């Protein structure tokens, strides 16, 4: 499941994942993603942090409640994301975070491989 308010970003990521044999759905808002979440029941969610309406962090927290095993990887190109993440961390929610723009290779490594291989900005 890929969520980004920029459809081109969501769609291209989805396509990259397909190349690797990973199926998924793209959404352009946190609300849409949340509405479809229980029906799709994804293994992982790649989601933008700063989106109009529901933020990626708020959506991620809801998804975790629903399905604790689901991996939520957040990515953001905006500095204010740091504040949102701090807030989430203060409430006990830890997410994997990547910084935009992220190379597809790095994203795939993060998604498929081990957690935080050092080269990733897993902060």
Partner 1 sequence: MVAVEFPIAYSLSERTWWLRYLIATGFVLVALTLNFLPPAQNLPFLFFFGAVALTARLCGFGPALYATALSAIAADYFFIHPGIHWGFSLMEILRMLLFALVCLLIASLAQQRSKAQRAAEMNQARLAAIVQSSDDAILSKTLDGIITSWNKGAERLYGYTEAEVVGKHVSLLSPPELPNDIPMIMSKLRTGEQVQHHETTRIRKDGTRLDISVSVSPLHDLAGNVIGASTITRDITARKAAEETLRKTEKLAATGRLAASIAHEINNPLEAVTNLLYLLRKNPSLDEKGRKHLSFAEQELERVTHISRQTLGFYRQVSSPSRMDVAKTLESALSVYSHKLEGQSIKVETKWGSGTEIQALAGEIRQVFSNLIANSIDAMPQGGTLTLKVSKAHNWGNGNRRGVRVVIADTGSGIAPEQQSKLFEPFFTTKRDVGTGLGLWVSKSIVQKHEGSIKVRSSVRPGKSGTVFSVFLPESMPASAAA
Closest to partner 1 by CB, 18 vs 66, is 18
Which of the stretches 1-9, 30-38, 55-63, 66-74 binds partner 1 when contact is defined by CB under 8 A? 1-9
52-58 CB contacts, 8 Å cutoff, 24+ apart: 52/5, 53/29, 54/29, 54/30, 55/30, 55/84, 56/3, 56/30, 57/84, 57/85, 57/87, 57/88, 57/93, 57/95, 58/30
Per CB under 8 A, does 114 bind partner 1? no
Give the footprint of partner 1 on residues 75-104 (CB under 8 A): 77-80, 82-83, 86, 89, 99-104
Residues near partner 1 (CB under 8 A), total: 27
Asked if residues 43 and 72 have their Cβ atoms less than 8 Å apart, the reply is no
Per CB under 8 A, does 65 bind partner 1? no
Q: Which residues bind partner 1 (CB under 8 A)?
A: 4, 6, 8-9, 12-13, 15-16, 19, 50, 77-80, 82-83, 86, 89, 99-105, 121, 123
């Amino acid at each position: 499941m890929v969520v980004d308010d920029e459809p081109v970003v969501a769609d291209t990521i989805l396509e990259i994942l397909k190349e690797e044999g990973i199926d998924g759905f793209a959404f352009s808002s946190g609300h849409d993603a949340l509405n479809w979440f229980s029906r799709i029941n994804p293994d992982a969610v790649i989601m933008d942090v700063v989106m109009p309406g529901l933020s990626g962090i708020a959506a991620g927290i809801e998804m975790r409640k629903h399905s604790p095993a689901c991996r939520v990887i957040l990515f953001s190109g905006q500095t204010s994301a740091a504040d949102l993440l701090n807030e989430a961390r203060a409430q006990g929610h830890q997410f994997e975070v990547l910084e935009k723009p992220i190379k597809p290779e790095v994203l795939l490594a993060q998604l498929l491989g081990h957690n935080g291989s050092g080269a990733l900005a897993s902060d």
